[in-house]
Every structure is written in C-alpha cells, then in structure tokens.
Structure 1
Amino acid sequence: MGQQVLSTRHRIQHDTREWVDTGKMKGFRSASLSFIERLYDKGHSYYIEFFTSINEDRTEHVDAGVSILESIKGELDGGWLFTIKGLIAAEIFADFIEMAEYLLSNGYKDPAAVMTGSVLEEHLRQLCLKNGLDTEVVHGGKKKPKTADLMNADLTKASIYNKLDQKSVTAWLGLRNNAAHGNYNEYDTQQVENMMQGITNFITRNPV
C-alpha cells in the first residue's frame, strides 16, 4: 500500500518538496494505524511513532511509515508469534482472519500463514473442549497440550468432522509449520490465500 501511495508523488510549483495523493495517504495511514492497534495496542511505541510522525501528504512521511511497517514485519518474520491462547477467543476469530488477510494483501504471506494456522489450531482446541475430548496428554508424569495433529485425529475419530476435512486440516497445519520454521519457499501466496479461505469455511461449518 505504501508503494501505491509513493507512485502518486508529485511536486507543486515553487516547492522543492515531493507530495503524494491526499486520499491514498489517508487510506494508508488509517489502515496502518488500525493494523498496528490490533497487533499491539495504542500504547505501543510503533503505534505512537506512526500516529505522531506520519501526518502529512509528503513522500518522507510515507517512507517513514513503510519503515515502521517493515520493522513490524521483521518481528513477525523473526519468529515473534502470537500468544494465541491469550489473544484469541472464539468470538474474535474473524478479526484475526481479517488481520491475516491484511498482511497477505500487503505482501506478508509468511506471518499471514502463521496467524491463520494459529487460529485453526485454537479452533481445534475449542472443538475438543466443546465435544468433551481431552486437549492434554500425560508425558513423563506431566500434562502437556496436545499437538494440533493429534487433536485433528481425535476429532475425526469422534466423527466431529469427516476424513476429507481431516486431510485439509493436515495440509493447512503443514503450511503453517513451514511458515513458522522459515521454510518460505515451500509455499506461495496463492496457497496461503487458499488456506485462509478453506479455514474460514471450515470454522463456519464446524462452529464452537
């Protein structure tokens, strides 16, 4: 989006500064602030910096905004993952899918894949709880959370959904794992988009 704004750069007569389209700049600023607020909050340094520094229709303000977003992308790509258990409840799954769509539309396929896969994993956990299935296993005398693959198998055995859904879930989890472990060349943007659409449909058909 930032590059689209920069493509409108122009100069005004007798002014050495470069300006950009006002409407596109407002859209870029609003979308970016909304994204940062959802990802962190209004008190985070990224939000404060963006809010206070990116407020004029000039190219240097767009460049500064893009730099902040690239820093956020660096955190995501560097393994900064969402604490899904604390962030996601069933009623806000759609918000996280929307955030993932925003990331994907701006070229960030890898964090989009991680976020969408994490939404799926939490949904599997909620489905298990809803249907009285264990979400933990005992290993070495200690309880540990079940893996998403094991929950997927348990839900299929309990006929909560069919084997075709099980295969789809397995594929989506595989793509998420590739993203989380830095295997970015194992999938492309279209596959992430298909994954997001598939998971959205799966959650709709199998509500908690």
Structure 2
Amino acid sequence: MMQEKFRTRFQELTDSFKEIQFITDGFGFKVSKDGKWQKWATSAENLIRAVFSDNSPHYINFKDQYSQCKRDSLNVEALESIFHSAKEDFEGGYIFNVELRISGEVFGDFIALSRQALSEGQKDVAAVLACAALEDALKRYAEINGLAVDDKTMQDVVNALKSAGLVAGAQKSLLDAMPRIRNFAMHAEWSKISEPDVSSVLGFVEQFLLTKFV
C-alpha cells in the first residue's frame, strides 16, 4: 500500500538524519558544512510534497525553511522540526487519505483524456476511458473502506458500496445506471452507447472524485 511505503520512507529519513555530522556555531545553531544535509533535505521535501501536496502548510513551511538554510546559516534544526511535524501528522492519521488523493489524480488524467476524445468525436474511445476510470475508482474506494471486491463485477461493487452506506442520495441513484453503460463499452457494443451516455459517466466520475477522493 502507498501509505506503508510512505511510512517506511519517513522512518528511513529519520534514521539518516541522525547520521549527519553537525557542529554548533557561535549563535548556538546546529549546522552542517558538508552536503549530506542537502541530500537529506531534498529527499524530505520530496516526501512531504508527495504526502501532503503542494498547498499544505507542511510542504510550504519546509520549502521556505530549506531556501533560508541554503542562503544563510545552514541551520537545519527548523527543517528537522517541520519534518517531524509532518511525520507525526501522517502517522497519527491527521491528513486526508493519501491513497485516495493520489488515485484521484490518476483517475482525473483518465477523465481529461476521455473528455478530449469525446470533443474530437471519438465517442467509443471516450466511453472506454470513462468507464475504466469509473470502475477502477469504485473498486479502489471500496477496498480502502474495507470491502472485499477483488475480482468482483462492477455491479457487485456497486451493490457492496450501497449496502455499506458509502454512496447515498443522488449519487446512489445515478450509480445504478453506470454498470449497463460500462458493459456496453467493455463489450464493444458501440451502437448502444450515445454521446450523452458517455457524458453522464464523465459527470458522475468527476463528482465522485470531488466528493470521495480528496
């Protein structure tokens, strides 16, 4: 799982920071004169960005402090503190689900490609892309919420989500029509799929990503 990989990397960087050789300058700051702290900081910045996103306080603060370290005293105590704050919030579960956010970004790319294909008159291509994104998104959402849907049909996944109360209201009603369109697309029954059908799948997936994959 992606979260476990991130957890392992946080620990690796915590351990590698302990191996950096520091001295204390005349102002009492812990500084390092070799390049090892920069190697650590680059990896730490990359990890924090991947976990929390570009707009998170953790990433913004770390990036700002890293820039100051490179310009001025090379004081890395603040960098270490921000890194540990990010590590604690991640391990404590005080952030949005990382796997959902990353999955949402990937599925969003599929949706963009599908919309482009539809705008170019390639209805069938758009239908396959949209339905693939929908089915994968539903399965990923179900799995992350503890439902056993591996090798299940899309209809089974939909039923599992509905039974668990993970979809409701208008989203629940719209979802009922999706397996039919998906089956037409995956079995190349193009004459049974219209452009409005594809648009409805796209609209549903976009709304699903906005509400579930944040």
TM-score between the two structures when normalised by the length of structure 2: 0.48
Q: Per residue, is there more helix in 1 or in 2? A: 2
Greater Cα radius of gyration, structure 1 or 2: 2
TM-score between the two structures when normalised by the length of structure 1: 0.50
